[in-house]
Amino acid sequence: MTFVQLIECRTSRLDEMNRLLDDWVAQTKGRRTATHALVGKDRSDAAHIVEFVEFPSYEEAMRNSNLPETDRVFQGLLALCDGMPAFTDLDVVRDERPAEETVRRFFAALTVPGELPPLNDLLDEDIHSHDPFNPQDTLGLDNARAEYRMWRAGFDLAFTIEDLLVQGERACARWTGSATHKGEFLGIAPTGRQVAMSGTTMFRFGADGKIAETWWQHDTLGLLQQLGALDELEQ
């Protein structure tokens, strides 16, 4: 279970505290077990500092606490704080990741049987899509949906998300896709062949949480080779 430690203190020496934490991170490189750390300053009380430190589990947090460098940084922290810092140990019982969920829903919507969903709950009306497969960028929801329909008409797509990273307003998915060539695609008559393709897609989200821009990279040449479209060129 994910574990978070909440640390609160009062200090007017935030710059020194940041340097102390930077030194600790450098000293514990490769041994620190925290996966995410965030320091915040109270807008209504500049001396009130709050740090959130996330660990994969309580046990990993204890391993981190037992590092000799952790005790030294704590002693340095005491010297910079007005009074004893307060520690709160939290087991995470709910962890919402809206951007990650949106990406997963997007790939699921591309492969849903039947008619392509409207996608207006996932994509911005003015979505901008970059894809080296196309000579020009695709602009607008209607054009994006037309492009997705073109792929769906040729293949019964299935995606597996291998990795998904989210940072701020952007996300990156590394995926693999498999399909049967069931319909005409780029003038290639349906072959019934099983094909596979891998790629990555970068997403940028708008202020409303919808996907506003995408960048696609995929092995189109490998796909055409699997369809036999390059056979004549190779002879």
Q: How far apart are CA 59 and CA 50, in angstroms?
A: 22
Q: What is the pLDDT of residues 177-230, one digit of tens each?
A: 999 999 999 889 999 999 999 999 999 999 999 999 999 999 988 998 999 877
Q: Which domains does the chain have, with CATH numbers?
A: 3-91 (3.30.70.100), 98-234 (3.10.450.50)
Report the SS3 class of residue 154.
Answer: helix
Q: How far apart are CA 223 and CA 218, in angstroms?
A: 9
pLDDT 10s per residue in the chain (235 long)? 899 999 999 999 999 999 988 988 888 888 889 999 999 999 999 999 999 999 999 999 999 999 988 888 889 989 999 999 999 999 999 988 899 999 999 999 999 999 999 999 999 999 999 998 888 999 999 999 999 999 999 999 999 999 999 998 999 999 999 999 999 998 899 999 999 999 999 999 999 999 999 999 999 889 989 998 776 545 4
> What confidence score (pLDDT) does residue 235 get?
47
In residues, how long is the chain?
Answer: 235
Tokens 């894809």 belong to residue:
131
